[in-house]
Every structure is written in C-alpha cells, then in structure tokens.
Chain A
Amino acid sequence: MDHRKGQTVKKTSTVVVALLALALASAAATAVPKPIVFVGKYSGTATTQAADNVVTITANGTGLGAKIGAGKISGAGKGDSSQQPCVPFTGTGKITGAKGTLTFKVNPGSTGCGDEAGQLFSVSGKATVLKGTGLLIKRKGTLKMSGTFDRSSGAFTVKFTGSLAAS
C-alpha cells in the first residue's frame, strides 16, 4: 500500500491551515475599528450673561446619546453679541451617559441666530470631540450641532450628529 499520496495531502492541509491562521492573525492585527455614528439629543436650561459685547454662556441639560445612553450635558462658553443677528460662540462641554462620556470643544464658526426680538435663537455649528470614555474610548471626530435657545425661558435643545473614528 502506498501512503505517500496521503502524506502529501496531509502536508498541504497543514500549510493551508497555517497560512489561514497567519492571514487571520495579520488581519486582526491591522483591523481598524469601524467609525461609530453618534447621535445625541439633549435639552435643558442655559443662562447667558452679557458684559459689553461678551456673552458668557452656561448650559446644563439631559438627554440621550447613541452607545452611551441616557445622561447629561453641560457646557460653558462665550459669545460675541456685537455681531447680529447671528452671534458667534465657542466653548467646551461634556456629555455623560451611563456607558461613557464625550468631552468636546465648540468650533469657531458656530452661531446662534436670533429672531427680530433677539429672544429665540437657532443654534448651529460644529464640535470637536477631544476625549471619549467607556464605549466611546479613544473615539474622536467632529460632530454637527443644531438646536434652539429661547433666551426668555432659558430653554435649549441641541442635537449632535457625526461619525467618531478610533484614534
């Protein structure tokens, strides 16, 4: 009985398995986590305090964010009320959820555009994520912000949308 043919098949199989294992290990080593689409919607109360043309803004609210779940938002910043009807503002903030946090800064170019009475504002702009924790650890990116602010009641809404890549 000739066993050489069987030995050849066995050797070939071993090589194929080894190559597959190597390919898988290599793929695992180079695999980049997929970007996470983040959508968060928050509402709460903001206060504004004007001195000359500098408006100091403080905001706190609650809401829901993708991956991190229900939680809070807080932020602080400054606006330039010499520019009307769209007041540019910048600042920093933090979104906290049960499963993670995002720390961000509001990018220049973000504005709150007021109505004729300067009471009801449409808020829009972009925020750069500086740091993520929990399920969003090492995630960074730019989020679009849109929302409203009613100066008379202090009520605000803000929606964040964007993609967070692994850094």
Chain B
Amino acid sequence: MKKFVTLGVALVAFAALASAAIAADPIAAPFPAATSGPVFIAAQTVTATGALQNQFAPGSSVIFRAYAVDSKTHKLLVAKDVKYFYVTIPNQPNVKLTYKPTAPGATGRMVWVGTWTVPAGYPVGLVNFKVLVKAESKRTGQFVQMPVATSQLTISATPQTTPGNGPAAQAAAVSDATVSLYVDTVNGTQPVGAPKRTVGCSQTNVYKRGEQVVIRVWGFDLSTGTILSTDNVDTATYSIPGQATAPVTYGAHGAVGNKVFFWSAPWIVPPTFPLGDVTILIAFKTDAGKTGTFAYPITVIP
C-alpha cells in the first residue's frame, strides 16, 4: 500500500512538472487548431471562371467550392455520404453546397459548389462565413478562413478582382487523404519586375510574370488527428515544372495579437516562364512516413 501511495505521489509530481513546463509556453496557435475535428473541410471562394478571389462587389456572385474528408475513414465525402453541407453567412440564408464536379468553379477535389449572390445592400467589409458539414455517419466539420484580413472574404464597392480567368478545371487526383491539406495562394508584396497589386496578400491564382506567388498550406495527419507542424513533419515542399523543388516553411502570420501558424512559401514567376496553366505540387511527409499531396493549378498571364 505504501509503495502504491509513493508511486501515486511521484506520478502526480511528474504530471505537475510536465504541465508546468507546458503552461510556461508562449501561445503559438496553429491554424485552424491543434487537433482535427471529425470531418476535415477545405474551402475557397472563386469566380465562375475558377479565379480565386476574396474581394467581391455587392451584386456579384461568390462561388464557394470545397472538399471534405472523414477524419475516421480518411475518405473524401461524396454526395451519398453527406446529410448537409452548406455555407453560413451572417444575416443571409445558408448557401447549400452541391456535389457537382462539372459546375463552374469546381476543380480537382473541390467539387462541392454553391453560389452566393451578394445583395446590393450588403454591408461592405469582412464576411465571416463558415462552412459546415454533417456526414451520414453523423460526424461533423467546420471551416473558417485564416485570420489574415487581406485574404478573407470581403465585400467592397471597389473590389480587387483577379486579373484574368482562373485555370481550367482539373480532374481530382487519386490520392490517399490520410494527410489532408488546405492550399491557396495570395499575391506576395514583394514582386520582382512587376508592380505591386493595390491589396497585397489577397487571394488569387492568376499571376503576371514577375509577380510573387505565396503558397499557403495547413493540414492534418488524420491518422493521429494532429495538425501538421514542425513537431510531426519531416519534409514539406512545392514543385513547379522547370523549377527547383523548394521547401514550404512553417511560420506565424497575421496581425499582432491574432497571429496563427501555418505553412507558406514564396515564388517569383520568372520573366520567361511559359504562359498558361501550371500546376504547383505541394507534398508533405510526416515523421511517421505518411505522405500527402495537393495539385494546385495557377494561371500565368502576360
């Protein structure tokens, strides 16, 4: 009995020390959370041409596109798997997402699509939308955008639109979704040989030569339910045809007081880079040997 008491005291002391060490950590918030929910969701806002864009004028149409993965089975949700999948927008009716790979704006895995026509009188400013899903398995998921204001859905009388049509729709790559990724791109604030856009770090997938592409990524290892971070990722890279494979790095972004950690990588479109669509391949390998890839198309224009 005495031995058990001693052991118990020792364990409590150990736990107290461990929690003290953890409590002393500065807050470093991984986006969207340290652990995955029951259903993973990635969503984007685009135009009918598939151009990634986050600023829209009142009266215009915002196309939401998304994909979802069951965190338990690691399967992509298709029409038969879903009880509901919609976008909730403040003071607006919900926008239902439909599984339609051929719909305007749909591409790759992102084939759950819904359109919101912004009312003429909708207030300008950030739109804090959420994407919600409930699977037939009763498991649920939620998506919100990264808290970087310039890249979040915004209604503006003078929106910064993407300067061209988006890349052609791609077929969904067959890949294991155990490591599930969210990927988007924003215009970097340090172009080389091209003028800066008025609003830096806004979402786009159409670039001129000399502009800076900034790839942004977050994701989960669904086998463990943990966020991908430097704690569990062995390598994270992006590859572009004709370019050297380069690392995607983990770091803090956003406004002071609301910084979050995610993965990113900058790339300047070379002055002689071929025009048209090109696919950026993002690849993650965890310490446990799990891999996840995402084929992300962009369009290069003159």
Query: What is the interface of chain A, defined by CB distance below 8 A to chain B?
Result: 41-43, 62-64, 69-70, 85-86, 111, 113-117, 120-124, 144, 146-148, 150, 153, 155-157, 159, 161
Q: List 30 A-B contacts (CB under 8 A).
A: A41-B22, A42-B21, A43-B21, A43-B25, A43-B26, A64-B21, A70-B21, A85-B249, A86-B249, A86-B251, A113-B250, A114-B251, A115-B253, A116-B253, A120-B28, A120-B252, A120-B259, A122-B230, A124-B250, A146-B230, A146-B231, A147-B230, A148-B25, A153-B26, A155-B26, A157-B25, A157-B26, A157-B28, A161-B231, A161-B287
Contact A148 B26 (CB under 8 A): yes
Tell me the bound Cα distance from A33 to B134 in angstroms: 50
Contact between A122 and B251 (Cβ–Cβ < 8 Å)? yes
Contacts of B25 in A (CB 8 A): 43, 148, 157
Chain A residues touching B, majority SS: strand
B229 contacts A by Cβ under 8 Å? yes
Q: Considering only CB atoms, which chain A residue lies closest to B261 in the complex?
A: A122
Q: Are A146 and B229 within 8 A (Cβ)?
A: yes
Q: How far is the CB of A60 from chain B (nearest CB, A)?
A: 13
- B252-A122 in contact (CB<8A): yes
CA distance A153 to B24 in the complex (A): 13
Interface 1/0 per residue, B247-287 and A, CB below 8 Å = 00111110010010100000000000000000000000001
Q: Are A113 and B251 in contact (CB under 8 A)?
A: yes
Minimal beta-carbon separation of B58 from chain A (angstroms): 31
For residue B9, CB closer than 8 A to chain A, the reply is: no
Cβ B17 vs Cβ A70 within 8 A: yes
List 14 other contacts, CB 8 Å, given A111-B249, A117-B256, A122-B249: A41-B22, A43-B25, A43-B26, A62-B24, A64-B17, A70-B17, A85-B251, A113-B249, A121-B251, A122-B230, A144-B287, A146-B231, A148-B252, A157-B25
CA distance A105 to B296 in the complex (A): 38
Residue with the greatest number of chain B CB neighbours at <10 A, chosen from A115, A123, A161: A115
On chain B, the residues within 8 Å of A157 by CB distance are: 25-26, 28
